Structure formats: C-alpha cells, structure tokens
Amino acid sequence: MKLIYTSAAIAALSLPAANLLANDDIDNIIVTGTRMPSNLSDSLSAVTLLQRADIERYQASDLFELLSRVPSASFVRNGGRGSSTSFSLRGNQSDHSLFLIDGVRIGSATTGGASLASINLATVERIEIIRGPKSNLYGADAIGGVVNIISRKTSDPSVLNIETSFGSNNTSETTAVAGLNGDRFNFTAAANVLHTDGIDNTESTDGVNGDDDAYRNNSVALNLRYQLSDRATWKLSYNRNETESEYDAGCGDALTYASIDCNIFSVGQVDALASSIDVAFSDQWHSSFQIGRTNDEGMELADNIDISTTYNAGEFNTQKTEATWVNNLFLADQHTLTLGLDYLRDEVTSSTNYDEATRDNKAAFAQYQIQLGAVDTNFGLRYDDNEQFGDFTTASFLAGMNLTDDLRLIGSVSEGFKAPTFNDLYYPGSGNSSFKPEESTNYEIGLNASLGNALLTVAVFNNQLTNLIQYNSSTFETEQTTEVEITGIEFNLDTEVAGWALSLSGSVIDPENKGNGKLLRRRAEQSMSFDADYGFNDLTLGFTLRSEGHRFDDADNTIKLGGYTTSAIRASYRINDEWAVKAKVDNLTDKEYVTASSFGLGNYRSVGREVMFTVAYTPSF
C-alpha cells in the first residue's frame, strides 16, 4: 500500500538540512493507539507522530508550540513561557486528554490536568498523539485523546551533543545529550537548564504586578535498554522537570482578606519513573509488564512576605503508582488478541485537608484485531473498578477499508469517561461528593489518501458528553452540565512542492452546551497551522503560520476574546560535521492576542516578537 511509503517520504522531509531529502531509516512504529507496536499507516485511530527530527526542524520552544501543529489542537496560556497553560484536543477540556511519559500517567489528582508547561522538549525523543476516546485501553481521562511523551534516546554507538541558546527577554538555555550503545544495551542521558526573564503576564500594573515574570526550568532524562536474551528486554526510564514560575496575583491576608503586595511565585516538579520487561514467550505470545511512579508537586512562595500569612499559601502534591500487564496473542494470520490488567493508585498530600486523599483503580481490558482482506477491524472492551466512584465499562469498535491502494476509509464508535478529581469531590467549600463520572460516546469517520507525493487525512467526528464538570466564572462555582455535544472536521496535508516540505493542518469544531445552546468556554471554533521548510546544501529555511478563531472566556458567552494569527521564521546552517548554528523569530509581526482573562488583573498577555540564536556542537567519535 502506497500510504506507508508516502508517510516515510514526508517524514524524511522533517530531518535537518544534511538529510532533508535523503533518509532511509524512518521509524513509523507507534504503540499508544493499540498498546502494541503497529505501523503508523495502519492505524485505525486519528494519530499524529512527532519525532525528534520535527522538534529540531521547527526549533520548537516548548511542548505547546510543537503540539499546536496537531489537527484540532488548541491551547490557553496565562501569560508567557512557563505560565499555567491548558491544552485541548477536539474541543474537549484539558483534563479530558490523558498524558503519559514513557507510557506512565502523569497529572494532578487534585486539578485533573497535567503540568505540561513543566515538560522540557530537550528531554523528549518523540510524541504520539491519538485523537479521540481511548478509555477502552486506558480507562479514565482519555475522552479527547492520549498523548504519550517518550524520553530522549540515541541509536549511534556513542553520542555527545551540546546546544546553547540565547535571545529575547534575557532567555538562555543549554542542553547536553550523551549516549552509549553496545551489542546488548542502549543508554542515553539528557539534561537542560533554562532561564528567561519573561514578560509581564497580565495587563495589571498595580502594586508589584507591573514587573516581568521570570521562569526557570531544570530537566533531566535517563533512558536505559538492556537485552536480557534473544526474547527478553528490560527498559528503565526517568524523566524529571523542576520549575520556578513568577506570576501576577492579588495576595490577601489570611484572616482579614486585606490586600497585600507580594512577589509571588510557584515551584513545581513533574517526574516519571518507569521500568518494564518485554518477553516473547513464543512467536504467538508476547508479554509486557510495566511498573511506574509519577509525581506532580506544586507550592506557592513569595520573596518579600511570609506566604503562610496569606490565603494564597498552598502545597498540592500528587503521586501516581501504576502497574500494567499486557499480553498480545497472535492467534492466526492477521488475528491478534490483547489481554491486559491495570492498577493505579492516586495519593494526595496537601496543605489543604481533603475528606479523602487516596483512591485505587483496578481494571481489565481486551482488544481483538482482525484483518480480512482489505478490511481491518478492532474491538475493545474495558472494565474499571474504582473505590471512589464504583465500576465502569467502556467499549469501542474501529474499522478500516482499503478502497484502493491509495485510498483508505476508517470509522469508529468509541466510549470514554473521566473520573471526578479530588477538587471536584472534596475541595473544602466547593467540592461536591455527588458528582458522577463524565461520560462520552464518539462517532467518527475518516479518509486517508495518497495523492502522488502528498498525504491527506480528513476526519469528521461527533462527541456526545454527559455529566460534564466545568467551572462557571459567573457563579464562581463548579457545575455539572447535563449534556454537551462537540462536532467537528479536521484535516492534515503533507506534501513537497519544488523542494519545499509543506504541512497544513486545521479544524472547525462546534463545542456546544446543549443545555443552553452556548459554546463551551475557552474553545476556539477554528484553528489552522501551516509549515514550509526548504533545504539546500547545509542550509535550511522555514516558515510557520498559526491561526485560531475567537473564543469566549465565560460559560455565558459574554466575554469574547478575538481570534489571532501569528507567524515565525527559522533557519539553520551546518558549518561542518561538528558545528551548526540556528536562528528563529517567533511572532514575527509582534501580534498582541489574548487566550484567557484573569480575575481582577485584566487579560493575560501574550509573548511578543521573540528572537533566539542557537549554537550546536555535535562531535563525531
């Protein structure tokens, strides 16, 4: 089927200048969509694969800049780099997408979301994004999709890469990557140090709010793979991100609520430790057992007052402990049965007292994949038993048909659910222990087409949700909405024209609260991303255009935030085998735009024009 070769050719165009038009070793294998290795072109789910070459090509500053190229992806940011940011897939809430690091869940059990602003791309090798519900394989939280962030690894016998960057807003960043690979083992270590003075995150200049809000990040990733035998492999990974973020806030006395000037900032940590053993007991039975632990920690501090005397003080730490056993049984030609068991424990340690601070979830799941000629099918079923909200069963059915060698039709019906967070249920003064799990049913049909040297994917989806939990800024309360419907169309086109690698993606969605006919807050109805890159000799040039439509900041749709379009340019030049230089300009036109409004401090500001220069040293051994 030509789709696989077109996909590989397009991926080759994302490599640095020296390899822009010639590459024969493209890894298009993904595991997130089915919890077993499969080829990207064979996926029955809407999927985007972003590899290390894409991160280097786009010179992406952070996770959100990179993910903004994914169809139906949108984000809301409370200021500059490192500030609180939420990510939405297909118009769903940020906590409706499940985020993994090396296959292990990350995120806060109190807020429900993952601290994505903390994750540094310098420690990331690749990201697999599955759009649409995957609760049949992963349980709670996978209503909008699953994003699996995989830690940095190298394949060369020995590697040493050092990069240092500097630019606008007194930003500096240094990355070091070292790797050593033998006949039976692979080891990679990556470390990054980042500092930026940032921007003033809000429009308010009252008191101490009129200053720039700095951000610091220290990150490290370790990745070890050891071949125990011809049929067994052991893997160990560790990813750690430590952050310090200044922000604007109105602090108040804990007793009188009188206003206090405070230079407030937050310190946080997101880390993930995972260990797994993969064993091929026979050609018909492959088994994998993984254990993991992740932490999401955050604490508020101030450098001019005792923060404990204010109502802004707080510490919220979440630990997730997880164990997964997956067995893939190859029953016959093109018949595969997957059986698995999951265990997850959430623990909350906080300065706030919750009525409950732990919960366990046990689950079993099954998946049956059949290929009959030109037709592929996938049946999925999962049962979750949660000590907090009881049991839950989700199912899915996916199918694909090769209409021709160059045209593939896919469709699916998938269920999803989201467990209420500890804040939803137990936060003092606002929690509601009667909240039920959010539920969804997603209907989808898509088309994948190989048109000469172009690859086009189009998907139409309808996601129907009940019991949606969201904050209402008008009433200052968390509410559970009876019914929500999100309908949309998304597309992605990759091609090459006159030596230019072109990528265009976009979406149009209608995220409607069926109870009142209003749009869900902070969702843009239209989004579009365009990239163009050209390489010749040792020089590559690139251009990006990003656009989002208007959105409403409140559930009543009275506060309208205008749409925006930003542009960026980039270049890289390889001086010789060991040295390279890069440069980029983000927000080329210095566009001012707003994606969220704060309480009492005006709108959150956006980063203006930003220039960055990078020097890279990659010695050969």
Q: Is the pLDDT of residue 373 over 90?
A: no
CA-derived radius of gyration, the chain: 24
Interior CA angle at 140 toward 134 and 145, to 5°? Answer: 35
Token reading at 540: 């590559």
Interior CA angle at 354 toward 352 and 356, to 5°? Answer: 150
pLDDT of 291? 98
Q: What average pLDDT does the segment 101-128 reach?
A: 92
Q: What is the widest separation between alpha-carbon atoms in the chain?
A: 73
Q: What average pLDDT does the segment 393-412 reach?
A: 96
By three-state DSSP, how is residue 611 classified?
strand
Contact 19, 26 (CB under 8 A): no
Q: How confident is the model at residue 390 (pLDDT cuts 50, 70, 90)?
A: confident
Which one-letter amino acid corresponds to residue 100?
L
CA 422 – CA 515 distance, rounded (Å): 26
Closest CA to 60 of 72, 68, 70: 68
Q: List, for residues 538-579, the tens digit of each pLDDT value.
A: 999 999 999 999 999 988 899 999 999 999 999 999 999 999
Q: What average pLDDT does the segment 23-28 reach?
A: 50
pLDDT of 307? 85
Q: List, for residues 141-190, the tens digit of each pLDDT value.
A: 999 999 999 999 888 888 899 999 999 999 999 999 999 999 899 999 99
Indicate left, alpha or beta for 94 from its phi (over 0: left) and psi (-120 to 50: alpha). alpha
Strands (DSSP E) found in 254-314 = 259-260, 264-282, 285-302
Q: What's the domain count of the chain?
A: 1
Closest CA to 511 of 476, 533, 486: 486
Q: What is the helix (H) or strand (E) element at residue 11, kind and residue range? A: helix 2-12
Q: What average pLDDT does the segment 316-335 reach?
A: 94
Q: In this structure, what DSSP letter does residue 202 have?
A: B
Contact 500, 524 (CB under 8 A): no
Kindly report the CATH number assigned to the domain that includes residue 124. Answer: 2.40.170.20
Q: Is the pLDDT of residue 316 over 50?
A: yes
Token reading at 453: 């040297």
Please state the three-class secondary structure of 393-435 as a single string: EEEEEEEEEEEECCEEEEEEEEEEEECCCHHHHHCCCCCCCCC
CA 189 – CA 159 distance, rounded (Å): 10
CA 327 – CA 290 distance, rounded (Å): 12
Q: List, for residues 27-76, the tens digit of each pLDDT value.
A: 688 899 999 988 888 899 999 999 999 999 999 999 999 999 999 999 99
CA 501 – CA 322 distance, rounded (Å): 41
Q: What average pLDDT does the segment 99-103 reach?
A: 95
CA 422 – CA 139 distance, rounded (Å): 17
CA distances from 513 to 91, 464, 516, 523, 531 (A): 12, 10, 6, 12, 33
Contact 478, 470 (CB under 8 A): yes
Q: Phi/psi of residue 510, each to 5°?
A: -130, 90
Of the ranges 19-28, 48-57, 220-229, 376-385, which one carries the lowest mean pLDDT score?
19-28
Q: What is the helix (H) or strand (E) element at residue 343, kind and residue range? A: strand 335-350
Contact 311, 257 (CB under 8 A): yes
CA 319 – CA 345 distance, rounded (Å): 8
Q: List, for residues 417-476, the tens digit of each pLDDT value.
A: 998 999 998 888 788 888 989 999 999 999 999 988 999 999 999 999 999 887 766 676
Token reading at 240: 């750690």
pLDDT of 485? 96
DSSP for 42-96 reads G-SSEEEEEEHHHHHHHT-SSHHHHHTTSTTEEEEESSSTTS-EEEEETT--GGG
pLDDT of 473? 63
Closest CA to 238 of 276, 185, 287, 266: 276
Q: Phi/psi of residue 56, each to 5°?
A: -70, -40
Contact 43, 50 (CB under 8 A): no
Percent of the chain with pLDDT over 90: 70
Summary mean pLDDT of the chain: 90
Q: What average pLDDT does the segment 478-497 reach?
A: 92
pLDDT of 44? 93
CA 127 – CA 271 distance, rounded (Å): 17
DSSP for 561-585 reads E--EEEEEEEEEEE-SSSEEEEEEE
Contact 610, 586 (CB under 8 A): yes
The 10 Å Cβ neighbour count of residue 573 is 15
Range of the domain at 34: 2-617
What are residue 336's DSSP bridge partners? 330, 369
Interior CA angle at 444 toward 439 and 447, to 5°? Answer: 160
pLDDT of 321? 97
pLDDT of 113? 86
Contact 502, 496 (CB under 8 A): yes
